[in-house]
Chain A
Amino acid sequence: RKEVEQDPGPFNVPEGATVAFNCTYSNSASQSFFWYRQDCRKEPKLLMSVYSSGNEDGRFTAQLNRASQYISLLIRDSKLSDSATYLCVVNPGGGADGLTFGKGTHLIIQP
């Protein structure tokens, strides 16, 4: 049973383009949702939390669709520095037992 599913990519996108990823989760009781970014051979770092009303941070927009159980990440005006793996992360039960990570979507921004 895959709790959090993402398209692994890679997504090859020209610089300046808009790119979007989706992620689906299986546990309808999930309470917290996040996008993390992981650079090659580095640790994951929080990109943004995902709220029910959606949220935006500069060029990044995250949306949550509870009815369809997916979250999305939109990157506008992509930069070379956006090249990374983007991890969809869910807290299934809201408890202390850690987060459930998707396997990640690999994004390559091309000059």
Chain B
Amino acid sequence: NAGVTQTPKFQVLKTGQSMTLQCAQDMNHNSMYWYRQDPGMGLRLIYYSASEGTTDKGEVPNGYNVSRLNKREFSLRLESAAPSQTSVYFCASSEVPSYNEQFFGPGTRLTVL
């Protein structure tokens, strides 16, 4: 039981490049989330998926898109990376929406030059 896995662990992009961050969970959770964490800012919600087949914007969705591929997988795409998107990205999942514990993946450290 791996919990929540994320790939890649580290990534360096040039401004304007695109990439997709992958997330998968093996806990049969319904809800999945993408957060970013910046120094002095705390964790901020980018997008979430309350259940398979649905996605919604969080606090900071601009510049990102998501896909809930199936119940296990929730990907985050940066279409045209900007230096302001340099951050640590965490994927999380929960059995039901947010009033339950969220389990986090190990994070992806992204640098955009």
Contact = CB atoms under 8 A, between A and B. Distances in A.
Interface string B44-81: 11001010000010110000000000000000000000
Q: Name the prevailing secondary structure of the B interface residues.
A: loop
18 contacts: A31-B99, A42-B106, A42-B107, A44-B43, A44-B90, A49-B101, A91-B98, A91-B99, A94-B98, A94-B99, A96-B97, A97-B48, A98-B35, A99-B98, A101-B35, A101-B42, A101-B44, A103-B41
A58 B88 CA distance: 32
A34 B41 CA distance: 18
Interface of A, helix, strand, loop or mixed by DSSP: loop
Contacts of B98: 32, 91, 94-99
A69 B43 CA distance: 21
A97 B56 contact: yes
Interface residues of B, number: 24
A46 B103 CA distance: 8
The size bracket of the interface on A is: 20 to 34
A45 B104 contact: yes
